[in-house]
């Protein structure tokens, strides 16, 4: 009887990471589209779920081309959060500047997610 243990090879690991990356990108995309389409707010819960996936799986991707994608998504969420917080007072002072700032941040967020998805689709690292 053979006592061979089935250990996932590099290809299976890469495909698993890519699958998790796509799950995260789709969740980010839903949130990003909701941010730029009025009345289509899916809620922050999806973003939190995607962020947790990225934080948990980031170490698994270390040393692979996919590591850049996990860091890319984490940085995108953190920067967007900081920018939303910094521009929040504009809503209290003046409606239009606050609205414009949040629209620009939301478009930037959407751009980063789409750019990352394009790179993932091509199985290449996303440029910083």
Q: How does pLDDT run across 67-125, given as a tens digit for each residue?
A: 999 999 999 999 999 998 999 888 887 788 888 998 899 999 999 999 999 999 999 99
Q: How many structural domains does the chain have?
A: 1
Residue 3 has pLDDT above 60, yes or no: no
Residue 29 within any structural domain of the chain: yes
**Domain range for residue 104?**
12-121
Neighbours of 70 (CB within 10 A): 26
CA gyration radius for the chain? 18
Establish if 97 belongs to a structural domain: yes
With b meaning 16 or more CB within 10 Å and e meaning fewer, what string describes 59-68? eebeebbbbb
Whether this model's pTM surpasses 0.85: no
**Contact criterion met (CB below 8 Å) for 119 and 66:** no
pLDDT for 6: 38
Percent of the chain with pLDDT over 90: 60
């Amino acid at each position: 009887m053979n006592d061979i243990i089935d250990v996932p090879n590099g290809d299976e690991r890469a495909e698993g990471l890519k699958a998790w990356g796509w799950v995260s990108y789709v969740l980010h995309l839903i949130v990003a589209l909701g941010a730029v389409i009025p009345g289509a707010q899916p809620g922050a819960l999806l973003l939190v779920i995607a962020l947790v996936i990225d934080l948990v799986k980031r170490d698994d991707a270390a040393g692979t081309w996919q590591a850049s994608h996990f860091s890319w998504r984490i940085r995108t969420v953190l920067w967007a959060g900081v920018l939303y917080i910094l521009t929040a007072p504009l809503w209290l002072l003046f409606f239009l500047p606050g609205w414009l700032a949040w629209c620009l941040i939301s478009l930037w967020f959407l751009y980063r997610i789409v750019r990352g998805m394009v790179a993932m689709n091509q199985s290449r690292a996303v440029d910083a």
